[in-house]
Amino acid sequence: MDCETPTPNLHWDIFCRVIDNFGDLGVAWRLACNLAERGQAVRLWADDISALAWMAPQGAPGVEVRAWTAPIDLTGVTPGDVLIEAFGCEIDPEFIAEYAKKVRNKAQKCAWINLEYLSAEDFAARCHGLPSPVMSGPGHGLLKYFFYPGFSVDTGGLLREPDLIKRQTQFDRQAWLTRQGLHWQGERLVSLFCYEPAGLGDLLDSLANDAKPTWLLVTHGRASVAVRAEILNKKSLNPSWNKGEALSFFYLPQLTQQDFDHLLWASDVNFVRGEDSLVRALWAGKPFVWQIYPQHDGAHAHKLKAFLDSLQAPASLRAFHFSWNGLKLLAAASRDAPFAPNDWQVCATQAKARLLQQGDLATQLLSFIAKIH
Which residues lie closer than 8 Å to 298 by C-beta, 6 or more apart?
A: none
pLDDT at 4 over 70: no
Cα–Cα dist 355/195, whole Å: 27
pLDDT at position 2 over 70:
no
How far apart are alpha carbons 272 and 277 in whole angstroms? 6
Do the beta carbons of residue 276 and residue 118 sit within 8 Å?
no
E-strand spans in 142-276? 143-147, 188-192, 214-218, 247-251, 269-273
Whether 275 is catalytic is yes
Q: Is 24 tagged catalytic?
A: yes
Sorted by sequence, the CB contacts under 8 Å of residue 145 that are 6+ apart come out as: 111, 112, 113, 114, 129, 130, 131, 132, 368, 372
Calpha distance 292→305 (Å, rounded)? 11
What's the mean pLDDT in 250-279?
Answer: 97
- Taking the C-alpha atoms of residue 373 and residue 102, their distance in angstroms, rounded to an integer, is 14
Listed range (77-86, 159-168, 305-314, 326-335) with the worst mean pLDDT:
326-335
* Mean pLDDT, residues 314-318 taken together: 95
| Residue 236 predicted with pLDDT over 60 | yes
Distance of CA 310 to CAs 119, 122, 306, Å? Answer: 10, 11, 6
164-356 adopts what CATH topology? Rossmann fold (3.40.50)
Q: What is the pLDDT of residue 20?
A: 76
pLDDT cut 90: percent of the chain above it:
89
Count CB neighbours of 200 within 10 A.
20
246-265 average pLDDT score: 98
The mean-pLDDT minimum among 61-65, 72-76, 332-336 falls in 332-336
pLDDT at 6: 56
pLDDT tens-place string over residues 81-136: 999 999 989 999 999 999 999 999 988 889 999 999 999 999 999 999 999 999 99
Mean pLDDT of the chain: 94
Helices vs. strands in the chain: H and E counts, helices first: 15, 12
List pLDDT tens digits, range 275-303. 999 999 999 999 999 999 888 888 899 99
Q: What is the pLDDT of residue 336?
A: 65
SS3 366: helix
| Annotated active-site residue in 116, 275, 276, 360 | 275
Helices (H), 209-273: 222-237, 257-266
Taking every pair of C-alpha atoms in the chain, what is the biggest distance, in angstroms?
Answer: 74
Catalytic residue among 24, 116, 202, 261: 24
37-70 residue pLDDT tens: 999 999 999 999 999 999 999 999 999 999 999 9
316 with 340: CB under 8 angstroms?
A: yes
Taking Cα atoms as reference points, which of 87, 126, 121, 123 lies closest to residue 302?
Answer: 121
Domain ranges of the chain: 11-158+358-372, 164-356
Candidates 242, 247, 285, 260; CA nearest to 193 is 260
pLDDT-derived band of residue 335, with 50, 70 and 90 as boundaries? low
CA atoms within 13 A on the CB side of 19: 11
Instruction: Identify the pLDDT of residue 263.
Output: 98
**CATH class entry, domain 11-158+358-372:** alpha beta
Query: Would the CATH topology of 11-158+358-372 be identical to that of 164-356?
Result: yes
